[in-house]
Amino acid sequence: MSLGARWNIRTRLTAWYVSVLAILLLIFAVIVFTFQYVTLTRQIVHDEMQDAVTVEGLLYFDNSDQLHLRQDYYSRPQSHLIVDRWMEVLDLNGVVLYRSDNLDDQSLGGPLTPGEGDSSSNERIVRLRDGSHILAISHIHGMNGRDLVIRLGYSLKPLRDRMWQFVWLLGIALLVTILLASITGQWIANKAMRPIGLMAARAEGITANNLHDRLAVTNPRDELGALAAVFNHLLERLEQSFLQLQHFTGDAAHELRTPLASLRTIGEVALSEPRSPEQYRDAISSILEETQRLYHTIDSLLLLARAETGTSEPNSDAIALAPLIDEVTNMLSVLAEEKSIQLLLQGEMQGSLAVYGERALLRIALINVLHNAIKFSPPGGIIRITLAKDNTEALITIADQGPGLREDELDSVFKRFYRGCENSSNPGNGLGLSIVKLIVERLGGSARFDSAVENGASAVLRLPYNRRN
């Protein structure tokens, strides 16, 4: 763990790679070694059996019933040296009839075991006095009516020497391979990680001032390309919201300037020459009215900020739509009555259609839309408020009979500080509909004006009703 934390990914990758390779190679070496050892041992046993059969033909009893091994078998004297065998011959009573000179009176396996050389060849390793190991076999042989047990063995030294050499060879090969693997592994890891380093360096250079910079995508189809693309996408969105924020701050400052300018002018004009108390009173009242406008703009801006960022834990209640629409309509009905506007509630007003979200925010959205409709409705007109639903969304439509919207206004009315051709008697702050849009979008829905409507404007709020967000 501490190592993992201290090493960089490159080294860790290489270390992993090399360790896995080393373990695999080791397993491989053990298997090869075992296989080789077993094969060679079998080969020796096989040779010994053959040799035993050969020896059978070379044994003979002399006149004094002494057992001898014929030595004139070899065509050339040097060949004698090749056969490096240890041998003894016993009868079934365990009496040693023959023992090769190199055994030097030692037994090649002690007393006879029952059935030795008969049912099996009894391969065994015998340790001689001088410490050398002999791989011995036994073979039973009938001769002159007597059963003889021929014990025959070869030294294991040549085999062991060869196996040691083999181990050395394997070991060296293993080390060299691991060394090479580490070097190439590190190289490959370096190569693989370099784009990440470049990306990091590039990303580090990106600040609020050059948010338009992007990471280079070399191959959009590989993982690093995908990472860079994701990162670029993030930058894109960041830049968007940053620009939006910049514009918004600029717009907001501008919007706050206007009421400030009137405040200042009213004050300056009031103080420019002596006036009657009535005039002073009038000026101060104007100033207070203007501050009200300022308050409202600031409240709206705060509301926008709140809807935009959201609190850490959104107050997700189930909001029953019909009662909310009733409540909003009731609250604003006095404004409608004043203009003799009829508010008609239609659709699923009896149902229990509900969406999830912060009720207070959705209420503000509905109030803003309806207030807007009342504002633009001609006196004596009708405003239809319809609640409907499709498979996934609740639809709230608020249709008025006002002047309606031009095609190019359908989207821009939702922009911040946008003011259309509104009647000057009812100046808004140009934030109402952008608040609506933001709130509805936060609930996972959408707000727009229906372009298909011929007369008046028809605002459509769509809210998903099965979603808990």
Partner 1 sequence: MDGRASILIIEDDRKLSAALVSGIEGAGYEVKAASSAEEGFFLVHRLQPNLILLDLTLPQRNGLDILQQLREEGLDVRVLILTSHNTIEDRVAGLKTGADDYMGKPFSFPELIARIEALLRRVLPSSPGRVTIGDLELDSAARSACRDGQKLDLTAREFDLLFYLSKNSGRTVSRDMLARDVWQETSRYTPIDNVIDVQMARLRKKVDDPFRVKLLQTIRGIGFCLQEP
Residues at the interface with partner 1 (CB under 8 A): 281-282, 284-289, 291-292, 295-296, 299-300, 303, 306, 331-332, 334-335, 338, 360, 364, 367-368, 371, 426, 428-429, 432
Closer Cβ to partner 1, 184 or 291, answer by number: 291
Shortest spacing between CB 273 and partner 1, in angstroms: 22
Closer Cβ to partner 1, 46 or 281, answer by number: 281
In the chain, the amino acid numbered 273 is: E
**Could you tell me which residues come within 8 angstroms of residue 449 by beta carbon, excluding any fewer than 6 positions away?**
405, 410, 413, 457, 458, 459, 460
Shortest spacing between CB 181 and partner 1, in angstroms: 59
Shortest spacing between CB 328 and partner 1, in angstroms: 10
Closer Cβ to partner 1, 351 or 428, answer by number: 428
Shortest spacing between CB 354 and partner 1, in angstroms: 21
Closer Cβ to partner 1, 333 or 446, answer by number: 333
Closer Cβ to partner 1, 184 or 258, answer by number: 258
Closer Cβ to partner 1, 282 or 317, answer by number: 282
Closer Cβ to partner 1, 124 or 375, answer by number: 375
Shortest spacing between CB 296 and partner 1, in angstroms: 5
Shortest spacing between CB 305 and partner 1, in angstroms: 11
Q: Are 10 and 190 in contact (CB under 8 A)?
A: yes
Shortest spacing between CB 389 and partner 1, in angstroms: 26
Shortest spacing between CB 362 and partner 1, in angstroms: 12
Closer Cβ to partner 1, 133 or 296, answer by number: 296
